[in-house]
Structure 1
């Protein structure tokens, strides 16, 4: 497990495709922030943290609303002026899906970053 975010996103994608209702991923601060964004945009129903011995995990309740999800590698740096280029590259339609961007104000969606007029590093896409 080199990239924990990529492993978590891959677990979510796999379990969505086979129709499961929930899945477990290892817990860390970045993954929790990503799941908060997914929950606020209704891509997942919710999540809760639990621990097995000394390791923490997240139990994610899936809603089967994800058509495509993936991690963007390498983590491109996006300015506010060239965000449209990456939206066209990773999102199939203008109002269908979103990019998650790591900014100085935390993780934001592409719409929030555009509204705040800031850029950052691309983390993932979802639609």
Structure 2
């Protein structure tokens, strides 16, 4: 049993990028699927596929690299809210990642979304991670 499945998800992506893998497989859950959709919508990953194999399923993520210099679209992916120390923010204290160049992924009452979308809907939530 894993202690923090979201940290495991982010670590698998981070390790795959460092090893220059093109595809990474991650055990699926609903929150991981939503984080994957946000990463795809914001252009940090090339593609993804949900496979329903076994009781849990698998998320296959195709990582995005620059064709010229082979650098990943994700420079850094960092867990913010941890099980022992949750980080909740309101709309007034919403974090800005790299002055708006990166995204903070939040879990809100309206679902998983970026900091910009949460500001637009005027809702706060738990800051899951920073991506840039």
- The 4+ residue runs of structure 1 with deviation greater than 3 A are 51-55
1:21-100 maps to which residues of 2 (within 5 A)?
A: 21-63=22-64, 64-72=72-80, 73=82, 74-83=85-94, 86-87=95-96, 91=97, 93-100=98-105
Contact 2:12–2:24 (Cα < 8 Å) also in 1: yes
Cα distance, 1:19 vs structure 2: 1.0
How does the TM-score come out when normalised to structure 1?
A: 0.88
Q: Which runs of 5+ in 1 are unaligned?
A: none
Q: Which runs of 5+ in 2 are unaligned?
A: 65-71
Task: Considering fraction of residues, name the structure with more strand.
Answer: 1
Cα distance, 1:51 vs structure 2: 4.4
How does the TM-score come out when normalised to structure 2?
A: 0.85
